[in-house]
Structure 1
Amino acid sequence: MNSFARRFAALAGAAALSAGLAAPAHAEQWARTDARGDVTSSTNCDAEGSSCTDTIDAAAKQPDVLRVVTTHTTDRVKVYARYAEMTSGGVRVHQFRVYTNEGVRRRLTVILDDGRVVYNQLDRDSGSKVACAGLRRSIDYGANTVALSIPRACLSNPRWVRVGFGSMIIRDVNDATRGYKSDDALRSGLSASTSDLVLGPRLSRG
């Protein structure tokens, strides 16, 4: 259950049915420009939303990530993403993956249903929840941006981190076989439904 696709599809179904670019004075930052037109369309999936038929949908503007910036400050780990286009309709998922020097693995997942946040949780790779006060998010549909951040205290105050980020649009939360569209911000080209989010380089504490 560690794949980008299976975690997103399962969480989105359950949930729907029931900061800026500038770095602080003390921070290490890394930025990447993602390829335009590299949204993966996953169809004909299994019942868990995995093992799909994956193809590139070059015409899709959503959820096409164009730019991602990751920042490690003295108190938070942050990600900022800019998209080709963003609207609030449907079920959309954003996931922020973090790996630390101590081997801690965490994922902050935010799920929105027609623009309303229905899930905002830090989890372990196993899927168990991690209590964390101070999770932050900012979603700007006018600017086509998403910003998420996690307090370092919730990550065991790491010396360095590696960060991944991706977004997904679920076609039908009642039928996982219909699949989704997704974009891994650190992977240009096809993001297979069995793949996990790519991690960026090490970022030391600011």
Structure 2
Amino acid sequence: MAPRLGARLAALLVPAALLLPGAAHAEKVVTEDSVGDVVTLADESTDLEDAVPAPSHGGVDVVRTSVAHGANRLRLTVSFRALERDPFQFTVFRVSTPKGQVDVLVERLGGKPISSIDRRGTTVECGGLRSKVDRGADTLTTSLPTSCLDAPRWVQVGVGAVGIAADVASPELAAIYADDAHRDGTVRDALAKGPKVRRG
């Protein structure tokens, strides 16, 4: 191809390429959590003030959270130190938006994760809500259409993980383990929130 013809084609194609629709963009924010900051409720206590450190329990130990807020979907990924293999585990995503707050709940009871959305005590229908576990990467990923959240301009997400370890011989001696992804070594009734993530 003659150099002059190549230059003319490039001059025509570059502006045309700029007119093509770009790939869907999502703002993504990753936050880190301390390793070994799990707590447990000892002696059948239900008071979070009585929680004691349980640094050796890795099954609910959140080490990283990723929030990707796109125009059409919100994708939430939690990385654990060592995700429970035979779980009785719950993960809560508390999603705050300019219009209010919802809880996205993910239950792992040994099979496929079960997801639901709760708004002020009422279950919200959300087609397209999905959760999956990657045991090789020790991650739990949940995604949902932003329309289920009224397409907010921004979100703030708190993440909490709770696991129950039962003694097969003495089920009444079950221990509860918990981690707040945005607190170091403490758990409260209200989850701590991550930074605002604006719609991409």
TM-score (normalised: structure 2): 0.78
Q: Which runs of 5+ in 2 are unaligned?
A: 1-22
1:115-149 Cα offsets, whole Å, 9 max, x none, are 343x421001x221011111011201121011112
User: Which of the residues 168, 193, 200 maps onto 2:194?
Assistant: 200
Structure scoring higher RCO (CA < 8 A, sep ≥ 6) equals 1
Q: Distance in 1 between matches of 2:149 and 2:172?
A: 31
- Verify the 8 A CA contact 2:34 2:184 in the aligned structure 1: yes
Map of 2:155 onto structure 1: 161
Instruction: Determine helix, strand or coil for the equivalent of 1:186.
Output: coil
The question of 1:92 aligning with 2:86 is answered no
The one-letter code sitting in structure 1 at the alignment partner of 2:199 is: R
Shift of 1:177: 8.8
Mark the CA change 1:32 to 1:45 in structure 2 (over 3 Å): closer, same or farther.
Answer: same
Shift of 1:51: 4.7
The question of 1:28 aligning with 2:27 is answered yes
Map of 2:42 onto structure 1: 43
**Identity score, percent:** 30
Mark the CA change 1:171 to 1:137 in structure 2 (over 3 Å): closer, same or farther.
Answer: same
- Verify the 8 A CA contact 2:96 2:156 in the aligned structure 1: yes
- Verify the 8 A CA contact 1:44 1:53 in the aligned structure 2: no
Mark the CA change 1:198 to 1:51 in structure 2 (over 3 Å): closer, same or farther.
Answer: closer
1:34-89 Cα offsets, whole Å, 9 max, x none, are 1011011122445xx45562011122212111111111100112211111112331
Instruction: Determine helix, strand or coil for the equivalent of 1:69.
Output: strand
Mark the CA change 1:135 to 1:38 in structure 2 (over 3 Å): closer, same or farther.
Answer: same
Mark the CA change 1:147 to 1:198 in structure 2 (over 3 Å): closer, same or farther.
Answer: same
Map of 1:110 onto structure 2: 106
**Structure possessing the higher radius of gyration over alpha carbons:** 2
Map of 1:17 onto structure 2: none
Q: Which runs of 5+ in 1 are unaligned?
A: 1-23
Q: Which residues of 2 match residues 10-159 of structure 1 at below 5 A?
A: 25-45=24-44, 49-51=46-48, 53-102=50-99, 104-117=100-113, 119-124=114-119, 126-159=120-153
Q: Distance in 2 between matches of 1:164 and 1:62?
A: 19
Q: Distance in 1 between matches of 2:41 and 2:26?
A: 37
Shift of 1:167: 1.2
Map of 2:10 onto structure 1: none
Instruction: Determine helix, strand or coil for the equivalent of 2:142.
Output: strand
Instruction: Determine helix, strand or coil for the equivalent of 2:75.
Output: strand
Shift of 1:179: 4.8
The one-letter code sitting in structure 1 at the alignment partner of 2:33 is: D
Q: Distance in 2 between matches of 1:146 and 1:78?
A: 11
Runs of 4+ in 1 over 3 A off after TM superposition: 49-52, 175-179
- Verify the 8 A CA contact 1:94 1:165 in the aligned structure 2: yes
The one-letter code sitting in structure 1 at the alignment partner of 2:125 is: A
The question of 1:186 aligning with 2:156 is answered no
- Verify the 8 A CA contact 2:60 2:84 in the aligned structure 1: no
